Amino acid sequence: MTIEELLQEIDTMNSYRRYGKVKRVIGLMIESKGPESSIGDVCNIIIHKKKKRIVQAEVVGFRDDHVILMPFTDIQDIGPGCMVEATNNPLEIRIGEELRGKVLDALGKPLNQEEELPVGLGKYPTDQAPPNPMTRPSITEELEVGVKVIDGLLTVGKGQRVGIFAGSGVGKSTLLGMIARNTHADINVIALIGERGREVRDFLERDLGPEGLSRSIVIVATSDQPALMRIKGAYTATAISEYFRDMGYNVMLMMDSVTRVAMAQREVGLAVGEPPTTKGYTPSVFSMLPKLLERTGTNQHGSITAFYTVLVDGDDMNEPIADTVRGILDGHFVLDRDLANKGQYPAINVLKSVSRVMNHIVDNEHKRAAESMREKLSKYYQAEDLINIGAYKRGSSREIDDAIQSYPAIINYLKQEVDDSWKFTDTKKELTNLMK
């Protein structure tokens, strides 16, 4: 930096510190008289009890001349009269190549308190605008994920955004672990939002494994943490993905689950005073989702291929969050509880799932084979009840006869052990041979 640039920096520097005082605390919300700040700014609440402690909070709204704050951590010991210091900056995280293999919290700090981030990492804001639509390159290249049913019948492209829709206990985390271990992306960014504390360790050791963790960055915000931390976990994971995309990498972002991010936003909205609308969700939820999900995808430097899990209540695929997310993303995979009960894993219902870019990135032979397998499955399921009770007579329909003959081989193709990994060329070859 030259002397002139340094002097200019000093001239524009704000040398004042602005303070306010906590007036009241109601539920998740802290009201303070001052300081002068803007929406999204981080403030420090200074607690003098036994020993000085600082609690970070974000400005989420204003009421009359009071500032409404939401804390990143618990609000224990905060009371009327505590000093509130404005930083006049939004939340920023430290970021760099050295984060590979790390497990971080929603603020970008190591979850293992014994670890420390390397010195010299740059700072990066968590809240970014989505790329300009005119600068987004088209998706033209497939991304190998190592799962047969996805690579063969629901091919994913580099920069595609996909939703994984399922109820609880159908295998979402296991499928994410398989994709993370087997994918050919340059780096994985995995966000575990609203998970049980027990499941975090299980996912890291059992589903992801040391091999997957070595080329991943994991962000964790468990269900016991404040709503703002769960929201910031999603924003931090997306910001890390954007940083590596701008460096020219092909990034794989996996978020489990976007439903819990929406629930956290609902908590914040209700605390600020928003009216509940569709099934109790506030209007800010439906404005936040497109802003978050549109940040991923392609830009002129690299790509972010994103998998967002959506937890559907009672396996209802038309509930508000599932319906909204499905309309924003470039495809959806539906995990079917009935298939899981039959022992078919991954339990992806091929007929209810779709990849909106598959037809543009695979060759005609692959496309025809995938369409043929879908048709045979559809014909079999249409006649399944008749087949099971013995009411169908062979020879009544040539298409159904063909479907019955092919069904065992198709189901064998759709199944895959958790530790298996398939190359894209082998997956395509087996699919085309099976359909011939």
Distance CA 157, CA 395 (A): 41
pLDDT of residue 1: 63
pLDDT of residue 333: 94
Q: What's the first-to-final CA gap in the chain, in angstroms?
A: 67
pLDDT 10s digits, 55-114: 889 998 888 888 999 988 877 788 888 899 998 888 889 998 889 989 999 998 888 767
Query: In whole numbers, what is the pLDDT of the chain averaged over residues?
Result: 88
In this prediction, residue 233 carries a pLDDT of 93
- Report pTM: 0.89
Average pLDDT of the segment spanning 121-130: 87
Length reported for the chain: 436
The string of DSSP codes covering 8-56 is: HHHHH------EEEEEEEETTEEEEE-----TT-EEEEEEEESEEEEEE
Q: Which of 112-121, 187-196, 358-367 is predicted with the least confidence, judged by mean pLDDT?
A: 112-121
Angstrom distance (rounded) from CA 75 to CA 59:
15
Say whether pLDDT at 209 is over 70: yes
Per-residue burial over 32-64, b if 16 or more Cβ lie within 10 Å, else e, is bebbebeeebbbebbbeeeeeeebbbbbbbeee
With 0-12 CB in 10 A as exposed, 13-18 as middle and 19+ as buried, what is 288? buried
Maximum Cα–Cα distance for the chain, whole Å? Answer: 90
Give the phi and the psi of residue 324 in degrees, each rounded to 5: -65, -45
Quickly state the pLDDT bin for 50 (edges 50, 70, 90).
low
* pLDDT mean over 25-54: 85
Which pLDDT score is estimated for 13? 67
| Structure-model confidence comparison of residues 391 and 137, the more confident one | 137
Residue 428 has pLDDT above 90, yes or no: yes
Please give the sequence-ordered ranges of beta strands (E in DSSP) within 167-239, or none if there are none: 187-195, 216-222
pLDDT in tens, 143-198: 999 999 999 999 999 999 999 998 877 888 889 888 988 888 899 999 999 888 78
User: Could you say which DSSP state residue 226 is in?
Assistant: -
pLDDT digits over 242-301, tens only?
999 999 999 999 998 899 999 999 988 888 888 888 788 999 999 999 999 999 999 999
Residue 16 has pLDDT above 90, yes or no: no
Partner residues linked to 59 by β-bridges: 69
Query: What is the reported pLDDT for 144?
Result: 92
pLDDT band at 15, cuts 50/70/90? low
Residue whose C-alpha is closest to residue 73's, from 224, 193, 176: 224
Share of the chain above pLDDT 90, in %: 44
Nearest to 150 by CA among 398, 378, 400, 345: 345
Q: What is the pLDDT, as a whole number, of residue 314?
A: 65
| Res 240: pLDDT | 95
